[in-house]
């Protein structure tokens, strides 16, 4: 049998730096656990625009469709702000999500004990926090038509459309219920059914799907109230399912509960392929952070934990994923901090590559 295949798309800004640390981890699994991956690498975002004049080349898109999993760093940067919308770096990422039909975006927000003091919330509010946001990723206002900026009378009008079909809601709801079954069996669905018809339909369909999962305790919340509850007492949640735009906002808010965006991974999953594995793309929740790019300051943990999610969700290697997560936990408990995690007096930051090396050393120690 051939090795599982991985396509690595480092992208822009800090993407290449954090991905270099992931490569160390991937190499470690090949050398020490006999888990070899066929790794190929390609361009996305601004890097692809610089090379090809487009943020994702068709050949790269085709490769992404063939591999077992895609691992992406980050896209975007100020240099590309002037570009037309259709070729902005972000369009490369959105094209991958859309054409691979990665409808279920899993964004865990987990607070590592060593970092509980680091959150802007009180430690007892966040200590031990472990929630999962399931964000719909291929529809809603990100993709709905009509869209654009049109002329109307003597002024311009900006238009975007929130649109969800029943089947789109149904499939992402099922993914969320399945996850809830493997966790604490609690699911909260968030929309704005008080003002949006798409929210009314969302609530109806999620409720209907819930009948297939009688063991899961289902609740509904308006997304604004959900945002408030996330800040007030986040531990009331286990799994949250929500649409594309609300999920974008709520997952950033949830990320900050844990202290740093630099810690959080994500998985974007689609329908199962012929080999039974879901189509999948893994990426850190953080962006390309152009202000610190190239300085060795970036935190590689989110990207490394994204690879852990790949081990779990694409390769059925849950034990190895746990090993990697525990290695990260150990390194943090031992006091290693990248610049984004500073705040404690008298602690010098470690560089991106020192953090990667420490995690590899902790993996060694796990054997
Ligand atoms: C995210 C990002 C993206 C999004 C951007 C980069 C297109 O904010 O993954 O959360 O809005 O979905
Ligand atoms: Mg976002």
Q: 93: Cβ below 6 Å to ligand 1?
A: yes
pLDDT at position 353:
98
State yes or no: is 224 an active-site residue: yes
CA pair distance 242, 97, nearest whole angstrom: 17
Residue 115 neighbours by CB under 8 Å, 6+ apart? 258, 259, 260, 263, 332, 341
Q: Which residues does residue 221 pair with via DSSP β-bridges, in sequence order? A: 190
The length of the chain, given as a count of residues: 367
pTM of structure: 0.93
Q: What is d(CA 74, CA 284) in angstroms, rounded to the nearest whole number?
A: 8
- Residue 194's pLDDT is what? 98
Distance from C-alpha of 57 to C-alpha of 47, rounded to nearest angstrom:
11
Q: Quick one: which ligand is closest to 287's CA?
A: 1
* Closest ligand 1 atom to Cα of 75: 6
Q: How many CA atoms lie within 13 A of 264 on its CB side?
A: 27
- The span from the CA of 147 to the CA of 181, in Å, is 37
Given its phi and psi angles, is residue 296 left (phi above 0), alpha (psi -120 to 50 degrees) or beta? left
Give the model's pLDDT for residue 345.
66
* pLDDT tens digits, one per residue of 182-191: 999 999 999 9
Measuring from atom 11 of ligand 1, which residue has the nearest CA?
A: 248
The ranges of the chain with pLDDT < 70 are 1, 343-346
CB 269 within 8 A of CB 314: no
What is the DSSP pairing of strand 239-242 with strand 130-136? Answer: parallel
Is 248 a pocket residue for ligand 1 (Cβ < 6 Å)?
yes
For ligand 1, atom 5, name the residue with the nearest CA: 90
First to last CA, the chain: 26
Q: Is 84 a catalytic residue?
A: no
What are the φ/ψ torsions at residue 135 (nearest 5 degrees)?
Answer: -105, 130
Nearest to 73 by CA among 113, 52, 46, 37: 46
> If you measure from the C-alpha of residue 248 to the centroid of ligand 1, how many angstroms do you get, rounded to a whole number?
7
164 a catalytic residue: no
Atom of ligand 1 nearest to the CA of 283: 9
pLDDT at site 166 = 98
Domains detected in the chain:
1-104+262-367 (3.40.718.10), 130-257 (3.40.718.10)
Question: Cα separation of 193 and 341, whole Å?
Answer: 38
Ligand 1 atom nearest to CA at 76: 6
| Residue 130: active-site member | no
For a mutational test of ligand 1's pocket, the pick from 83, 106, 242, 248, i.e. the residue with the most ligand atoms closer than 8 A to its C-beta, is: 248
CA dist., res. 161 & res. 144, Å (int):
5
Omega before 141 within 30 of 0, i.e. cis:
no
Best residue among 256, 287, 302, 303 to mutate for probing ligand 1's pocket (most ligand atoms within 8 Å of CB) is 287
């Amino acid at each position: 049998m051939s090795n599982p295949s991985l396509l690595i798309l480092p992208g822009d800004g800090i993407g290449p730096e954090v991905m270099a640390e992931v490569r160390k981890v991937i190499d470690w699994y090949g050398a020490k656990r006999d888990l070899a991956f066929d790794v190929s690498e390609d361009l996305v975002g601004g890097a692809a625009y610089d090379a090809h004049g487009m943020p994702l080349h068709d050949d790269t898109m085709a490769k992404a469709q063939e591999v077992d999993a895609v691992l992406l760093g980050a896209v975007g940067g100020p240099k590309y702000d002037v570009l037309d919308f259709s070729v902005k770096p972000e369009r490369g990422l959105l094209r991958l999500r859309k054409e691979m039909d990665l409808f279920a975006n899993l964004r865990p927000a987990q607070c590592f004990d060593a970092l509980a003091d680091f959150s802007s919330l009180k430690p007892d509010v966040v200590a031990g926090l472990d929630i999962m946001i399931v964000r719909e990723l291929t529809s809603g206002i990100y993709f709905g038509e009509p869209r654009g900026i049109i002329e109307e009378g003597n002024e311009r009008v900006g238009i975007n459309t929130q649109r969800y079909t029943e089947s789109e809601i149904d499939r992402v709801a099922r993914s969320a219920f399945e996850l809830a079954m493997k966790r604490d069996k609690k699911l909260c669905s968030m929309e704005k059914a008080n003002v949006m018809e798409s929210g009314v339909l969302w609530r109806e369909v999620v409720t209907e799907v819930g009948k297939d999962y009688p063991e899961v305790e289902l609740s509904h919340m308006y997304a604004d109230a959900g945002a408030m509850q996330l800040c007030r007492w986040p531990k009331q949640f286990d799994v949250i399912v929500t649409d594309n735009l609300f999920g974008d906002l709520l997952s950033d808010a949830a990320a900050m509960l844990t202290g740093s965006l630099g810690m959080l991974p994500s998985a974007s999953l689609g329908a199962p392929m012929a080999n039974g594995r879901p189509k999948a793309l893994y990426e850190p929740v953080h962006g390309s952070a152009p202000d610190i790019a190239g300085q060795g300051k970036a935190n590689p943990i989110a990207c490394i934990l994204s690879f852990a999610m790949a081990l779990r969700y694409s390769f059925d290697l849950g034990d190895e994923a746990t090993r990697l997560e525990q290695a990260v936990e150990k390194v943090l408990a031992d006091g290693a901090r990248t610049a984004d995690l500073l705040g404690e007096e008298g602690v010098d930051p470690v560089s991106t590559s020192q953090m990667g090396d420490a995690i590899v050393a902790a993996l060694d120690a796990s054997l």
